[in-house]
């Protein structure tokens, strides 16, 4: 679980990495463009120019390759898990940090089992990302309400905070890669969470009002056995 928290914070590194990658690629691109402009102006390129261009292209190819390895998710196996257990574990894990900020978790947990076909660590990552956002939205402390229940053929999870909320004009940008309204935010938490939820055939909906709080609704289909062993 510490690993997940670390990863949530490490998203910061990914952001810096992306900026770095863009920068690294821009240099060889500029060189390539320069050579092509020379050619266009009638200064025919010689063998040495072409060699340099090829090596610059090779550099771009290398950088992109490295980034792809990093970004590529490992094959993931779906298992039948009770989401109540996963959520309880995450809440226990975050409890001391919440206390530190005068925040309490108020839970309503279904007495019925809530089985979902999932990759446990990925769902934990989603809960950590969303709960951290809720906590960060309440600098003066308060309560975060978390409920989990069966709803038709789904499991519905609601995470509601009474924090600063999201202004309407900001709302449309939330979830875009690298969009953050925080000084040291990454702007990757919602994007990553949404992508995990979609891979689990679920939905993630954000409802918010500036000044009064934010609710995130998650919906996952109840586990059907044929989903088990599915590989992403």
> Where does this chain bind Mg ion (CB under 5 A)?
133, 189
Q: Give residue number: closest CB to Mg ion.
A: 189
Residue 111, SS3 per DSSP: coil
- Structural contact between residues 165 and 212, judged by C-beta atoms closer than 8 angstroms: yes
Q: Which residue stretch of 32-40, 50-58, 103-111, 183-191 sits at the interface with ligand ADP (rule: CB under 6 A)? A: 183-191
Q: How far is CA 65 from CA 15, 61, 62, 191, in A?
A: 17, 6, 5, 22
Scanning 32-40, 52-60, 68-76, 131-139 for contacts with ligand ADP by CB under 6 A, the matching segment is 131-139
Phi and psi torsions of 221, nearest 5°? -65, 140
Q: How far is the CB of 143 from Mg ion (least distance, A)?
A: 19
CB of 177 to ligand ADP, least distance (A): 9
State the binding partner of 28 from Mg ion, ligand ADP, none, CB within 5 to 8 A by kind.
none
Among 4, 163, 202, 223, binds ligand ADP (CB under 6 A): 163
Task: Give which of Mg ion, ligand ADP, none residue 155 binds (C-beta under 5 to 8 Å, depending on kind).
Answer: none
Smallest distance, ligand ADP to C-beta of residue 35, A: 40
Handedness of CA 91, 96, 100, 106 (dihedral sign): positive
How far is CA 206 from each of CA 5, 25, 143, 174, 219, rounded to the nearest angstrom? 22, 35, 18, 9, 12
Torsion (CA) 231, 218, 6, 22 in degrees, nearest 10? 80
In the complex, minimum distance from the CB of residue 157 to Mg ion, in angstroms, rounded to a whole number: 17
Quick check: 202 binds ligand ADP (CB under 6 A)? no
With binding defined as CB under 6 A, does residue 180 bind ligand ADP? yes
Find the part of the chain contacting ligand ADP (CB under 6 A) among 63-71, 83-91, 176-184, 217-225: 176-184
Q: Tell me the C-alpha distance between 123 and 163, whole Å.
A: 23
What's the burial of 183, exposed, middle or buried (CB within 10 Å: 0-12/13-18/19+)? exposed
Question: Which residue in the set 86, 94, 128, 137 belongs to the binding site for ligand ADP (CB under 6 A)?
Answer: 137
Q: Which of 141, 142, 185, 221 binds ligand ADP (CB under 6 A)?
A: 185
Counting contacts by CB under 6 A, is residue 122 touching ligand ADP? Answer: no
């Amino acid at each position: 679980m510490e690993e997940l928290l670390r990863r949530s914070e490490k998203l910061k590194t990914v952001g810096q990495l992306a900026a770095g990658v863009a920068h690294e690629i821009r240099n060889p691109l500029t060189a390539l463009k320069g050579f092509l402009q020379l050619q266009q102006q009638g200064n025919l390129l010689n063998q040495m120019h072409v060699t340099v261009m090829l090596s610059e292209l090779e550099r771009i190819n290398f950088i992109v390759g490295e980034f792809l390895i990093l970004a590529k998710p490992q094959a993931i196996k779906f298992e039948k898990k009770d989401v109540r257990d996963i959520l309880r574990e995450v809440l226990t894990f975050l409890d001391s940090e919440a206390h530190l900020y005068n925040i309490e978790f108020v839970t309503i947990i279904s007495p019925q089992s809530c089985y979902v076909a999932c990759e446990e660590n990925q769902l934990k990552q989603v809960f950590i990302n969303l709960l951290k956002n809720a906590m960060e939205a309440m600098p003066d402390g308060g309560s975060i309400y978390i409920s989990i229940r069966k709803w038709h053929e789904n499991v519905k999870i609601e995470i509601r905070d009474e924090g600063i909320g999201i202004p309407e004009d900001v709302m449309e940008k939330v979830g875009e890669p690298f969009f953050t309204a925080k000084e040291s935010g990454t702007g990757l938490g919602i994007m990553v969470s949404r992508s995990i939820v979609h891979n689990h055939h679920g939905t993630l909906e954000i409802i918010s009002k500036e000044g009064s709080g934010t609710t995130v609704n998650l919906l996952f289909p109840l586990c059907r056995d044929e989903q088990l062993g599915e590989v992403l």
